[in-house]
Chains A and B, each alone.
Chain A
Amino acid sequence: MERYSYLCEQSDERGFPTVNTHRVIVNRGSKLRARISYLLPLALVLAPTYSLLFSAFPVALGFQWLVLICGLFLLVLQRNGVEEEAVVVMPTFGVQLETTYFSGKVHRQFVPLKHILAAVINEAVTPTSCYYYLALLVRDDSKLILAFKEVRPPLHMLVPIWRALREAIGNK
């Protein structure tokens, strides 16, 4: 199980209302390990390709093909690791949901405050597990917008974020 740590930051810019950022960070050891495990399938694909194309190493051909296919398999199955997810609450403005990946990519989604009806914590039951999730009820859309798409923080982390969201929505 991955360990999550929760961080709440406040921006103190004068003249603007306080923007609270609630971050849930995935503890994945060192960043170097994450980067290496991300590049491993690529290496597994490139090395045999090079040696097969240019007949560089006269090692067992079958083994090289095997390594190549395994590398391709891992490359296809690989998913971008999530470094952290954040919920940025901007009072009177809206809510921004951010996902930062290990590759450095950041995915952001902004939900204007006018569209949000409520924030709910609900329980989801799958055939193998049961967990809590925080979602936003949006006007004109039957689907809920999940606050944390990839990450599943425990209930005691979700509750302060839910309270902050309720305050922001309640003071429309």
Chain B
Amino acid sequence: MSTSLPLSSSSLSQNASRQQHRVLMVSDFFYPNFGGVENHIYYLSQCLLRRGHKVVVMTHAYGGRCGVRYMTNGLKVYYVPRLPFLMQNTLPTLYGTFPIIRNILIREGITVVHGHQAFSTLCHEALLHARTMGYKVVFTDHSLYGFADLGSIHMNKVLQFTLADVHETICVSHTSKENTVLRSGLPPQKVFVIPNAVDTAMFKPNPSARPSDEVVIVVISRLVYRKGADLLVEVIPEICRLFSNVRFLVGGDGPKRVRLEEMREKHSLQERVEMLGAVPHTQVQSVLVRGHIFLNSSLTEAFCIAILEAASCGLLTVSTRVGGVPEA
């Protein structure tokens, strides 16, 4: 911007910044579910609201939670009564969601539709219908997917169809960008990489909470196959055998929790390994500050926010070198 005409340039920038966008975030995954995608959508919406734009979120009904709800700062959420059928996804009827999507787009005066997560059927349908009606469309991909198994092949085909026409694509890491570009056939120049962020105001370190005589390793994740719970079962007894002053703090719940409990009984590690069960998101920080090291054993990860949160709380992080973790 030239300094000789400060008035016009500042007024231009003021006009550009004053243009209010009305964004519709669409995904199958939102509060009350807790996870990377859900938190990403929520924090992104809050930041956009703070900048003066209008944000509306559309997702499927969660149990009895159906209808219109308002979250912090006037974030309007539509819980459309279409029940999930497989892994939190709504039934993919190609034109079934068209009436309600059109209704929401018109009554809210939406200008930009932002879809999240390639695995979300509601997202694909919304992007398809929004493009048919001529709206601007943005897509963000949050996870890495395979190429060889049945589900992935079909989903990649759907993704190619949807992303053929999208205006902008965002990925959360360079690894994720590679993955998305290969799966969807997009030109790599068109894809933006915007890594996820962590709320440092919430995740503050607290050195006084850590014990000084022993080393505490914290693990907080969903105990499923994908997050490497089996690796944990192998690694924990080994470490406890090799180092006597190490304690483990395991938070989270899932199908693999039984295996961890069995391992605990088998090696009599009841005092060395503490199982906390499911940790609500608000209490994650208080659990993290109790440790010195954070262990992440996931088998695949596009971008691990858990590592960022742990680092923000002052822990050293140890992780499996997969996906976008080196970039995090």
Contact = CB atoms under 8 A, between A and B. Distances in A.
A11 interface: no
B68 A125 contact: yes
Contact of A127 (B68, B81, B104, B107): B81
Contact of A124 (B67, B82, B99): B67
A171 interface: no
A129 B102 CA distance: 9
The A interface is mostly helix, strand or loop, or mixed, namely strand
Most central of B78, B79, B96, B107 by chain A CB within 10 Å: B107
B45 to A, nearest CB: 19
Contacts of B96: 127
Contacts of A125: 66-68, 78-81, 100
Report the interface size class on chain A. Answer: under 10
B319 to A, nearest CB: 41
A130 B106 CA distance: 11
Interface string B206-246: 00000000000000000000000000000000000000000
A118 to B, nearest CB: 18
B103 interface: yes
A124 B61 CA distance: 13
Nearest to B108: A130
A123 interface: yes
A100 B82 CA distance: 34
Nearest to A123: B68
B67 A123 contact: yes
A123 B69 CA distance: 10
Interface string B63-95: 000111000000000111110000000000000
B91 to A, nearest CB: 11
A60 to B, nearest CB: 39
Contacts of B82: 127
A129 B78 CA distance: 11
- Nearest 10 Cβ contacts at the A-B interface: A128-B99, A123-B68, A125-B67, A130-B103, A127-B81, A129-B103, A128-B100, A127-B82, A125-B80, A125-B78
9 contacts: A122-B68, A123-B68, A125-B68, A126-B81, A127-B82, A128-B103, A129-B103, A130-B68, A130-B107
